[in-house]
Chains A and B, each alone.
Chain A
């Protein structure tokens, strides 16, 4: 690329300098938010985001080590705030703090509450300092803010905040805070986390002003434009390398397998992805109609984020090329459409709170559509995860604990899939057993990898986890998950992976297999919940897998002896690969296939 001919707005040195300073601000915001916050969902799981935006609401930088699903939606929150404030004729003033969580106005879902501090420099608005975080409880029908899988509409999902000024020109809006205290379970945790969010926003605002003082807003704006253009150029240059055309893929979500209504189970996500020069269009026509259950996905805040982040993770993979800053530029070459009234573009007041797992399938299906043109940059099918809320009463107060389990990735070109990780558009952390048991009447009984379950392939699918949590006193739990009905897909001759499971009281007379979505289940002392996550699909023909790697897998318990033979055609004798017997067996299996 001939850089000299490009029309630049500013010199590349200052652009780099200001870009680095912006990112350093967002990282500091995130760092402080994590350290000041109370609930494990923020401080341990890091389910939060921090970013600075320009006056038009375009993202300039983000706290690069927190989760994409909190970071990505921030500009959408901002657009929602703009829209509502314009409708109401409201304006931003110095000292304002705005709270927002409406999924029909850009928020990712209700529990992910955004706080926004408008930043002023010499009486001018210069941008916004923004944080989002998942809150433990937001006043929905059940304790906790996850697994509310029987919410019938947006009202049942908890409090809705539409661009509310919780501080107005520096003055605290006491009534709003009283409503929060009175309508949220475990308010000391939730309100403490909200205060931490505001403190982090204010810190970001201060640093933003310092940057403006140092370089002047003209320079900062010019550098920001350059950074966004840069990210856009990088993505466009990757897209243009791909063969033009339309590529289709379908994915399925469990839905509610125990529902009497056929239209509430085995729901289709349909993706047509068109590459045209340096643009990508993604169309969801053909996707199942919206349902009166909260697995609908906000078009702006979940669907768009799943698409953007999957495309960037495949085409601008940070392990393979330079780190490209995540900003508004990366959305410009990508155009998303979905018919109104579908799972991927629901109409108000359809419930959306449990949109996480279906969003993973959207991401997974977009990857599948890209696999034909970018075979060396994708993985085979990804195993979905489960998110659980465990809760109970201590006297008159609730305790609520939110547990995020893990999925797994499919095999990749030259590499096996990643085992037991958060997937695709999210990247949270688990909570240590030693933290859980020190704070809640729960015991972690088991946390291990699944065995003999990764999708067979030249590069094997990653394996999921088995996690068991028991109640030391009576309480309740609810779970949103997916991946019980449909195994992650194999690719290029690889076989599919293994679905997940959810078992109550495993190995006892009260053992019960449950569907992937469980609203509010009461428990008694000793009840044990086992979550089993799916294992990723295989990549390439398992008969082409290096027999030594199959041997390693057998030694490590990832593949059992019998399946080394049956799935991989590898014969092991005396703890070693029998090369000749393996060749013979493999050619026999190949013949049998024809």
Chain B
């Protein structure tokens, strides 16, 4: 069996082909093709299959990570969207939460006003109203009005329609009926209802999530169709599965109906790849540390797998998104981040980046501003002979020039300024890590940090030192970690039903009924995807809060039917979780069970490991020794440092830092007071000693 993982990023399309039975792994990287990324995918697949000597028709599964939905949002290039909403509430998408994005700014932009997903002229209202607590109908849906506004929207040239009614999370009937009518009047339109995307309260956030789905839907649909057709034409017959923001995959047709679930497709695959590689070496608690040219994505994996972000903490292009997303903290910090002194005299690094063009000064593509990569070059950590497998030219003198200008403004030596750039960046990344660890009740010192992306391994050990993390893992292929992550996941569907029931008098009948219903929903979807019964597993949880609070915590549900006894377990778990998240619990207070969640997982074949080959010994790996600058005991020192070629490192033989390890797609920096060992799974394990 052959499994193919394809991750399309902004610059490169990464591909991995593996046979889980023989353990063979082949990797490839091609430039992402601009307008229609499916072209680059086709080229990459053809080349990789040829390299591996595998017939395209022999590929059984394709797992795909895509930025199409993300780019549609970031570039604001989406469909012309029409909105059909409850009378009296035409402008919910425009007023939002009436909060300005920035506290201290007169000239700021407001994304939902200046870059509206739905122009006001396309926001139509119809009489209808359902009400809490159970979604009773207050005003019946005016079906003629729905028909009328649909015709108006069609005539106005929209190609996608979002149907968003108040309280539809309690009763979706009006939205569903409106969807039918739109389908009759305007069958070509891409239709989204807010309750089918995320049936939860808070109208602005739910409507916006539906509007995003409507906005990116047609573009994602076209992309997926092109991709499927193109792959078929190149002889690849397997179905395409797409990675979603929740960390699971779904068949491409399903994904195309809910494209709003694809916004973190690539980063979610990255966390999965990190979790898989760490798992090979027996590590369950991991901070995943993915650093590229412009940004760092930091995720967290615990014994219970990756964590999901709170629904209120997920944003894309300035808009809130309420669908389940893997918890990732992103900051503008990467190899291309520019260092400068601002007019108040502060020394800053990022978030502005030199990007791919012009890139760092030392790449010689015309960049003149000092970047993080230039700082590494000045400190002697990048070797022109071995940089990225020797495939990339490096001009250290240009790095020295760029950093030198900054150093003279700061009254420092070039090396001090370069070390300062790295220190500031590392601390910014450590602060971003706190938002997924300490701020969520996780002690980072209990975790290992697994680093990937082109720049992750350059910074990982020093960031670990700041966080008090004692072990760092560099996987075998840090540069294509997301593509590998695609080959490690399961099919996953999430379903949700609002409950609003109290611990003082819980409605267990409804809870059990809804559980059974949602279970059947995800189960039948998995069966429809061809998953065998024994490969299906179902996870159930509930969102709880103390009565009156506005934020919920996710609590796992006990097994089986919920009765008087085991419901108490839910309440106990809620108190415990509140204590660990906030350092405080209110055991006397009644609890409100807000949502029931059911996730269905269908197992798919996975990558089994990465083979190590070749003649391996420390002597073979050792390239040379050279002076490199490190911060040691608070002072900057030039230390003799060993340079190694990762492909020659022997298994199980420790070596000491300071050292620099080169490989085709990244460079690992080992500061003093560390030692590293390559383990039999291809992971480089770095131990940090107490200092």
Contacts and interface: CB of A to CB of B under 8 A. Distances in A.
Interface of A: 1-4, 6, 8, 11-13, 15-17, 20-21, 24, 28, 31-32, 34-40, 43-44, 46, 64-65, 67-68, 188-189, 192, 195, 199, 202-203, 230-231, 233-234, 237, 309, 312-314, 316-320, 322, 324, 326, 367, 377-379, 404-406, 409, 412-413, 415, 418-422, 427-430, 432-435, 437-438, 443, 445-449, 465, 468, 555-558
A438 B170 CA distance: 11
A540 to B, nearest CB: 15
A20 B431 contact: yes
B34 interface: no
Interface stretch (B173-181, B420-428, B612-620): B420-428
Contact of B91 (A202, A317, A448): A448
A446 to B, nearest CB: 4
B107 A415 contact: yes
A60 B424 CA distance: 19
Given A17-B424, A35-B549, A237-B344, A448 B89 contact: yes
B346 A12 contact: yes
Contacts of A465: 91, 95, 98
Given A12-B420, A35-B551, A447-B92, A433 B346 contact: no
Contact of A314 (B94, B97, B106, B113): B106
Interface in B380-434: 408-411, 419-420, 423-424, 427-428, 431, 434
A419 B550 contact: no
17 contacts: A2-B409, A4-B411, A12-B410, A192-B548, A233-B344, A317-B108, A318-B105, A379-B106, A420-B91, A427-B100, A429-B98, A430-B97, A433-B89, A434-B167, A435-B202, A443-B131, A445-B88
A13 B411 CA distance: 13
Interface stretch (B60-68, B579-587, B673-681): B579-587
B342 A322 contact: yes
Interface string B582-625: 11101001000000000000000000000000000000000000
B452 interface: no
Interface string B132-175: 11000000000000000000000000000000001101000000
B108 A203 contact: no
A3 B584 CA distance: 46
Contacts of B439: 28, 31
B283 interface: no
B124 to A, nearest CB: 12
A250 B166 CA distance: 43
A3 B411 contact: yes
Contacts of A67: 103
B106 A429 contact: no
Nearest to A329: B344
A38 to B, nearest CB: 4
Interface in B226-241: none
A86 B139 CA distance: 63
Which of A36, A378, A557 has the most chain B CB atoms inside 10 A of its CB? A36
Interface of B: 88-92, 94-95, 97-100, 102-110, 113, 119-121, 131-133, 166-167, 169, 201-204, 341-348, 408-411, 419-420, 423-424, 427-428, 431, 434-435, 438-439, 500, 546, 548-551, 581-584, 586, 589
A1 to B, nearest CB: 6
Contacts of A435: 201-202, 550
A229 to B, nearest CB: 9
Contact of A556 (B89, B108, B119): B119
Which of A8, A188, A313, A443 has the most chain B CB atoms inside 10 A of its CB? A313
Contacts, number: 231
Nearest to B201: A434
B115 to A, nearest CB: 13
Contacts of B438: 28
Nearest to A322: B342
Given A28-B438, A420-B98, A434-B201, A317 B582 contact: no
Contact of A39 (B98, B133, B548): B548
Contacts of A203: 583
A420 B94 contact: yes
Given A12-B420, A438-B133, A377 B106 contact: yes
Nearest to B411: A4
Contacts of B102: 318-319
Given A319-B107, A319-B109, A557-B121, 8 more contacts: A34-B551, A38-B546, A38-B548, A44-B550, A192-B548, A230-B345, A317-B106, A412-B107
Contacts of B582: 32, 35-36, 199
A13 B204 contact: no
Contacts of B344: 1, 230-231, 233-234, 237, 322, 324
Nearest to B552: A35
Contacts of B435: 24
A4 B95 contact: no
Nearest to B125: A448
B411 A318 contact: no
A320 B438 CA distance: 32
B108 to A, nearest CB: 4
Contact of B409 (A4, A418, A434, A447): A4
A318 B345 contact: no
A234 B343 contact: yes
A415 B108 CA distance: 9
Contacts of B121: 555-557
A483 to B, nearest CB: 16
Contacts of B584: 36, 195, 199
Which of B88, B90, B104, B428 has the most chain A CB atoms inside 10 A of its CB? B104
B203 A437 contact: no
A409 B76 CA distance: 25
Given A13-B423, A320-B107, A447-B88, A420 B95 contact: yes
A199 B438 CA distance: 16
Given A419-B113, A435-B550, A449-B95, A377 B346 contact: no
B691 to A, nearest CB: 13
A555 B90 CA distance: 15
Contact of B132 (A32, A234, A413, A437): A437
Nearest to B550: A43
B438 to A, nearest CB: 7
B105 A317 contact: yes
A422 B343 contact: no
A442 to B, nearest CB: 11
Contacts of B347: 12-13, 15-16
Nearest to A66: B103
A16 B417 CA distance: 13
A2 B411 CA distance: 10
B99 A13 contact: no
Which of A11, A192, A447 has the most chain B CB atoms inside 10 A of its CB? A447
Contacts of B133: 438
A189 B204 contact: no
B550 A40 contact: yes
A235 to B, nearest CB: 9
B348 A16 contact: yes
Contact of A438 (B110, B201, B345, B419): B201
A197 to B, nearest CB: 11
A233 B343 CA distance: 9
Contacts of B89: 433, 446-448
Which of A4, A40, A237, A316 has the most chain B CB atoms inside 10 A of its CB? A4
Contacts of A231: 344
B94 to A, nearest CB: 6
Nearest to A404: B98
A432 B343 contact: no
A412 B104 CA distance: 15
B601 to A, nearest CB: 29
A413 B107 CA distance: 8
Nearest to B110: A418
Given A13-B420, A203-B583, A443-B131, A68 B110 contact: no
Contacts of A35: 549-551, 581-582
Given A557-B121, A558-B120, A4 B408 contact: yes
